[in-house]
Amino acid sequence: MGLASLLILLTLAGYAVLCTVQPFARCRTCRGTGRTDTRGAVEVCRRCHGARHRLRLARRIHNHAERIHTTGTRPGPEHNPN
C-alpha cells in the first residue's frame, strides 16, 4: 500500500515538473500538423486551430487557479493608498 502511494506521488510530481518545463504538447487530433483530412478535404484542426500544440491539462488547471488567486487578492478601488 505504501509503495503504491509512493509511485502515484512520484508520477504526479513528474507530471507537474513536465507541465512546468514543457507546458505545451502536440495536438492529438491532428498529430501536430495543424490540419485534418475530412472527406478528402484538408481543413484547419478544430482542436488546436492550426497552432499544432495544445496546453496540457495540469497547466490549464494551474493557470486557472493562479487567475482565481490573482483576482481574489488584487486590491480594489477601496484600498487606494492616496
Task: Please write the tens of the pLDDT for every residue from 33-69.
Answer: 888 877 778 888 888 888 888 888 888 898 999 999 9
Q: Which three cell numbers stand for residue 10?
A: 512520484
Average pLDDT of every residue of the chain = 84
User: 54 CB contacts (<8 Å, ≥6 apart)?
Assistant: 24, 25, 26, 27, 28, 47, 48
pTM recorded for the entire structure: 0.61
Length of the chain: 82
